[in-house]
């Protein structure tokens, strides 16, 4: 039971680290108490996007007449949509497990605990066995935040997990929380014909994302029948609905179903971090640019750091951590990590927002264009709305990009590369984009 490295948690950070470690000759053991792939593959990113794609196809069929195509009385089969989601998850989780195994990694599908350290080895216990390792990577992820709302314990509600397993659609749904997860579920259930209400404490949906594109998305979904309650606090829930307060006045939103979506928190308890005196910071484990904790041979990646709770962030963090163990120069750069909301239309952003720069007192310049400046966008988005915004600093370097429209989830990485490489707008515009593509919008923006 001696290993070079142990990895606790088999989500995107954990399985990426295991693959990289095994591929580079490290004897690795990966512990996962639930299912390989973590929340992302099993209860988050992948199943959600599978449902959203079915909803997007339904939206497209409903709008077919705009494109000269006849599609009368479009309908859907919820059980088949859910079955396809389950099949997709099963295929991908099986593929991840097979890949990890192919690198000689030992997979233990049971809960593991840190027991301490002795003679230069970290001790991990799991199901009565003790594992001795030189390096440890903690990737235990995050849990859904359940807010202390009066009446919640006596009222049936969904989290994202239950919403992904729905067998029958409610007629009305109240979503508490208008962040990324809340808006993606609002998008899905709205497309399925459910009357959706979104309650958000902040002045705008989508948290720290660019306010202009967030507002445009909210306006689009307001037209589709979603009701938004901004700057609004939930003061109570009961079997009849949700009691809200705004500007000192209370009212009740009647709803058949309630969905909690107020965020996630790092899973710090139960793993035994205290046994190694691992230092914490705010809501997660404190790490440096190599993802190294306060212990010289313990790393932490993914949601447990409480910093950027995104699967693609976790994957990159795992790569950096393993490279550091191997002596390969690499550092984590959060300035070019994109964020995407997979609604229809999509929203995406990378780098600095205007709100962030104003708060910090940093001078900047903005240039933006409607996505309709792209011929391909117009051809494929009949009367569709969209925006592309580039932000540069005083030296002309691109430091932010924010977009609304399809398929900005695929385009935002281009701006991310520009930020990572320190491109100026002039350098960026020397890139030749194929015509016609939606990505040409980057070339059209002039400061």
DSSP string, 182-227: HHHHHHHHHHTT-EEEEE-SSSSSSTTS-HHHHHHHHHHHHHTT-E
d(CA 167, CA 78): 7
DSSP string, 286-334: ---TT-B-SSTTEEE-GGGGSS---HHHHHHHHHHHHHHHHT------G
Q: Which two tokens stand for residue 243?
A: 């009691």
HSE value, Cβ hemisphere, 13 Å, CA-based, for 69: 10
Q: Which two tokens stand for residue 18?
A: 């295991």
d(CA 262, CA 177): 5
Q: Name every residue whose Cβ is closer than 8 Å to that of residue 205 and which is 6 or more positions away in sequence.
A: 178, 179, 182, 183, 198, 214, 217, 218, 228, 230
User: Are the beta carbons of 73 and 66 closer than 8 angstroms?
Assistant: no
Pairing mode, if any, of strands 121-126 and 249-254?
Answer: unpaired
Sign of CA dihedral 401, 405, 410, 411: negative
d(CA 350, CA 335): 8
- Which of 123, 240, 402, 435 is catalytic? The answer is 435
350: part of which helix (H) or strand (E)?
A: strand 347-351
Residues in the chain: 447
Strand partners, 188: none
Find the angle CA(140)-CA(144)-CA(149) to the nearest 5 degrees: 145
DSSP string, 87-110: HHHHHHHHHHHHHHHHTT-EEE-S
Active site residue 295: no
Strand partners, 424: 397
29: part of which helix (H) or strand (E)?
A: strand 28-31
Instruction: Please list the active-site residues.
Output: 435
């Amino acid at each position: 039971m001696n290993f070079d490295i142990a990895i606790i948690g088999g989500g995107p950070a954990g399985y990426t680290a295991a693959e990289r470690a095994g591929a580079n000759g490290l004897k690795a053991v990966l512990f996962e108490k639930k299912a390989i792939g973590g929340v992302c593959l099993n209860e988050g990113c992948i199943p959600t996007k599978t449902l959203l794609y079915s909803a997007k196809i339904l939206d497209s069929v409903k709008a077919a007449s705009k494109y000269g195509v006849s599609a009368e009385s479009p309908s859907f089969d919820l059980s088949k949509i859910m079955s396809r989601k389950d099949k997709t998850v099963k295929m991908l989780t099986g593929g991840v497990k097979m890949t990890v195994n192919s690198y000689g990694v030992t997979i233990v599908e049971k809960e593991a605990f840190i027991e301490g350290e002795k003679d230069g080895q970290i001790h991990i216990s799991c199901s009565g066995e003790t594992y001795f390792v030189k390096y440890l990577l903690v990737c235990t992820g995050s849990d859904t935040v359940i807010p202390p709302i009066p009446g919640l314990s006596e009222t049936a509600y969904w989290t994202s997990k239950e919403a992904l397993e729905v067998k029958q659609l409610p007629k009305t749904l109240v979503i508490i929380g208008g962040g990324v997860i809340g808006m993606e579920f609002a998008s899905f259930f709205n497309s399925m014909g459910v009357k959706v209400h979104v309650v958000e404490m902040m002045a705008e949906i989508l948290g720290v994302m660019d306010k202009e594109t967030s507002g445009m998305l909210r306006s689009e979904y307001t037209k589709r029948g979603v009701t938004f309650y901004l700057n609004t606090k939930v003061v109570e829930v009961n079997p009849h609905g949700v009691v809200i307060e705004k500007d000192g006045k209370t009212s009740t939103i009647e709803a058949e179903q309630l969905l909690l979506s107020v965020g996630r928190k790092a899973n710090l308890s139960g793993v035994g971090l205290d046994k190694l005196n691992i230092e914490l910071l705010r809501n997660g484990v404190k790490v440096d640019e190599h993802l190294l904790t306060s212990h010289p041979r313990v790393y932490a990646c993914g949601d447990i750091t409480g910093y950027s709770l995104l699967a693609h962030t976790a994957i990159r963090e795992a790569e950096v951590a393993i490279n550091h163990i191997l002596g390969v120069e690499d550092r984590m750069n959060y300035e070019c990590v994109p964020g995407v909301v997979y609604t229809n239309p999509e929203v995406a952003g990378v780098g600095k927002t205007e709100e962030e720069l104003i708060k910090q007192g940093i001078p900047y310049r903005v240039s933006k264009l409607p996505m309709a400046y792209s011929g391909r966008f117009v051809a494929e988005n009949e009367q569709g709305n969209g925006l592309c915004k580039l932000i540069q600093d005083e030296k002309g370097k691109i430091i932010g990009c924010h977009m609304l429209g399809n398929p900005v989830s695929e385009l935002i990485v281009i701006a991310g590369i520009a930020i990572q490489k320190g491109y100026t707008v002039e350098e960026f515009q020397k890139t030749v984009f194929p015509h016609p593509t939606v990505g040409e919008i980057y070339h059209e923006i002039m400061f």
